[in-house]
Amino acid sequence: MERIASFTVDHDVLVPGLYLSRRDGNVTTYDLRFKKPNTGDLLSNAEMHSVEHIIATLLRNSEEKDAVIYFGPMGCQTGFYFLFDGDKLTDEQAINMVKSAFAMGAVWGGAMPGKSAKECGNYINLDTALARKECAFYLDVIRDWTVEKLAYPEG
């Protein structure tokens, strides 16, 4: 059985950042790494869920929304995956899109998107303040990120 691409990344040297995980045809997957793996410092369920609701909403309402395929949390609780149509966005445009979404998320002043039992299967653990805090943290990590920094660190 083949190892999946994400298992080939050296998690011992991985640090918070924005990385190109893979390209599959026109689908590009970015690894938005918030936490250094295997340190015990993980995103809580409420932090992941809250960031997911706000950032997914911002990405899907951006000018480039037609390129957005998916935004969601990693099971290991250290970050998120962002999938987009690489035929519609360059890496530079995608990086700027991510920066813009997290800049807006860091100062989000509206109601939490999808915060009702009708809209979400676990709406009670959504927290706007947690989302703002994590968005601000990640924005600081990627503020000066460029295409040249998209490669995973090597061990």
CATH number for the domain whose boundaries are 5-145: 3.30.1360.80
Chain mean pLDDT for the chain:
96
State how far the Cα of 50 lies from the Cα of 100, in Å rounded to an integer: 17
For residue 5, pLDDT beyond 80: no
Confidence grade of residue 111 (pLDDT, cut at 50, 70, 90): very high
pLDDT in tens, 23-43: 999 999 999 999 999 999 999
Task: Establish how many alpha carbons lie within 13 A of residue 25's alpha carbon, considering only the half-sphere containing its beta carbon.
Answer: 1
The answer to whether residue 142 scores a pLDDT higher than 80 is yes
- Give alpha helix (H) positions in 15-90: 45-60
pTM across the whole model = 0.95
Residues near 64 by beta carbon (within 8 Å), at least 6 away in sequence: 84, 88, 89, 93, 97
